[in-house]
Structure 1
Amino acid sequence: MSKRDVAHHVSLAKLQTMLGVSRGVVDGLIDLGLVTPTRGPRNALRFSFQDVVLLRTALQLRTSNASPRKLREALARLRRELPDELPLSGIRVAAEGNDIVVKTGASRWDAVSGQMLLDFEVAEVAGDVVLLEATPERKSVAVSQAKQQYDLAESLRATDPSAAVRVYRRAIELSPEPFYAAYVDLGALLCEQEHQCGDALRVFDEALALFPRDAVLHFNRGVALDIMERLDEAKTSYEECLALNPEYADAHHNLAILLDRRGDRRGLIRHLNAYRKLSG
């Protein structure tokens, strides 16, 4: 093992001090094959950056609703995806709704489903791996970066829609909080390209998991489903929009047309009258 390798590994005693973990827990994870320390001088266990992140995640997941099977799946996936060394951008593991999301720079991926409350960052200080709570300064920088990406996407919408889609997604990934406007505009842009309505629907579903009582998102979801000829689901989305905002004129208009296609003359007249009243 080189001097550089030693600098990036920690001993069992230091690991237990950092994380407050028992030897039994460590041995259990080693037995599962999810934590794989190496051996140092005098056969002492040495834990890598990957091992530290996996163990810290396991400790956080113990208090979640994740089953033992899902816990093993989460740790196994983390093990496959984590880099061998700490990236300059750091790694952030966080619970978002029912998903465990791992962010490495611009990348963002799910580890497992389950109710969670997990939010930490990994950084390197003087050769050691440490865990840092997110600070207001980091969040402020991330908010600014996400806003810059959003503004760039807005400027690209008309001239390069494909690039705009990528930049909207980047804004959502960078934002430390759910980025409502980016979700709405990304979904709407995708929906303008008929062959991407399925992608738009996934964006709206993701956004609705974060903003379940937003009429605009329900309306836009209805539009995507309408274009895809999934009329029953579109009708439900328009109705959910109107339940939240009965004065949403465009939802009345689209629902009137949909009901006419389905032969519902009474529904057509009711929603068409509502639309004319609201837009007149």
Structure 2
Amino acid sequence: MTKRNSSHDYSLRSLQSLLGVSKRVLTGLIDAGFVQPTRGRRNELRFTFQDVVVLRTAFQLQSAKIASRKILRALAKLKAELPEELPLSGIRITAVGDSVAVKTGLAQWDAVSGQHLLDFEVAPIKGDVAFLDSTPRNLKSREQQADEWFALGEQLTGTDVVGEEQAYRKVLELAPSPHYSAYTNLGVLLCEAETRCEEALSVFDRALEHFPDDALLHFNRAIALEELKHCDAAAAAYERCIELDPTHADAHFNLARLSDIRGDTQGLVRHLSAYRRLSG
């Protein structure tokens, strides 16, 4: 399997889908100099996650009638602070009158002048844009950073698969102790891709080294094994799930189905009866 280039993972078409704007609008923002995309193997435009954030912000501020020149100056200052990886939540950019304002917690200031603003009314913009947390990363514990990456992964669920995966992998890298939810969410995410079930199985196997008696991990591992056509191993994993949690109805149902496929009539009846009892 070819490893994806996570630094330039977005095409012009994917940007249109993410931002919900036309190609003409996007081209106008690019021509205005808000971002400098690279070129892919076929000379197509490729964008980083930072580009996505900047373009989304520029579009929203333009919609709020902020002058393009003022947006460019504001974003030029902030873009230098964007990380090469996915940003953490914290700073929000909004329109205040004809100014671009940055807000972090209770503090808020003009993005161009740096002047602090007090009690301003924020013009309505569809969706705030998350940038960097105001606290420098080197002053945060690994646990705090891992928690923020996990929160970001959950926020990206269903909207940015690449970003979601990267966030959960960052959690596993940073967390000072095994992070059960990051293992679970990453494994499920990979398994949903269908072609990445081997990777999902590896994630569940690593998780089970830390949480060997967790029924849900054995259940998810069984699903990955089924997708890979390892029916006997999947059945054993479902059995282990039920051993740990006899009330796991879905494990009984899946095991009944596998029993039917394997010609195990007794197993089919036993597990189907258990499923009906538990789900009734």
TM-score, normalised by the number of residues in structure 1: 0.50
More strand by share: 1
TM-score, normalised by the number of residues in structure 2: 0.50
More helix by share: 1
